[in-house]
Amino acid sequence: MPRRIIRRQHWTMIIAVVPLVAFAVAATLDAAEPLGLKPIRHPKDNKPTPEKIQLGKQLYFDPRLSRDSTISCASCHDPAKGFSNGEQFATGVRGQVGGRNSPTIINSAFNRFQFWDGRSGSLEEQALGPIQNPIEMDMTLEEVVERLNGIEGYRAQFQKVFGTAVTAENIGRAIAAYERTVLSGDAPYDRFKDGDESALSEAAQRGMKLFFGKANCSACHAGSNFTDNAFHNIGVGMEVDEPDQGRFVISSLGGDTGSFKTPTLREIARTAPYMHDGSMKTLEEVVAHYNKGGGSNPYLDEEMFPLNLTQQQQADLVTFLKEGLSSENYPNHQPPELP
């Protein structure tokens, strides 16, 4: 079967399973989202409140959710490091190292799927995954619930927010409510689009034209969050004997072999290293990879082809990514006081 047909089946499958009706569009508690972003879709059963967001923030920064009380969500998704960790791979309890780069939490409120392979369909589900992963936080949900119920401050907050003692479901809801506040918009690109012609340098403007034109980056890095929320094989890591199969492990669709979720490009200058395997240290390396047409393999996306950009054009494209998509209002959240 031609790979293009397989990919179309994949999207039919996505449309069928994504429970869009489970969401209700609602504004953030602070009024409008940052310039350039769309309204957030909050699950009907997890509407945000200030108390829920604060509880979720405490849980996000609390290492007591891990087996040896050394690893929190913020350990791998650190605000000071673009809500990633600045390393090639994530490191969990007992110094264990995973096999994938930590994706940023920034604007994850807009993701249709979570994790590089999209195995979670919501932030609520995603929040509970690392807690149970033996090389990340290495807890069972029963154990973490028991531990948190043993902390008076958490018991009181869960009662106030949810009307129950600590439960696994409500841990996920609280963390997800907090993560939906980690937003980045109002970047120079947004202000330029809004009419401020001085917001972007001449080099960044040239790079922007390449991004939406000859380089065609916007084919996948589309929309206000610069992602199509889909999965693509761009040839990263496919040269090894046993490459990471990516989305294929979840979907079992041949066209998804070696495919990974398109990440947002918001705050991309802060989230190095890049790609699902953290194999590229700089944006210059990333642009060079696309310029050569990606890494050849039997499952390479049809969208990948040599761009034939000059060195100056590649430099301009990098300038747009760094300058144009980095907000002065970066959400540099600080750890809260824990109960």
Q: Which residue has the tokens 């609602």?
A: 26
Chain mean position to CA 64: 24
CB 117 within 8 A of CB 250: yes
Q: 319: which 2 tokens? A: 């300038």
CB 98 within 8 A of CB 136: yes
Chain mean position to CA 273: 14
Task: Based on the residue annotation, tell me whether 136 is a catalytic residue of this protein.
Answer: yes
CB 287 within 8 A of CB 310: no
If residue 231 lies in a helix (H) or strand (E), which one and from where to where?
strand 231-232
| Residue 335 CB-density burial (10 A; 0-12 exposed, 13-18 middle, 19+ buried) | middle
Q: Which residue has the tokens 């605000």?
A: 79
187: phi then psi, degrees, rounded to nearest 5: -85, 170
**Of the residues 136, 179, 267, 323, which is catalytic?**
136
Q: 216: which 2 tokens? A: 């065609």
Which of 96, 106, 320, 333 shows the shortest CA–CA distance to 205? 320
Q: Cα separations (Å) of 170 from 127, 166, 225? A: 10, 7, 28
216: number of Cβ within 10 Å: 15
The 3-state DSSP class for residue 221 equals coil
Question: Active-site residue numbers?
Answer: 136
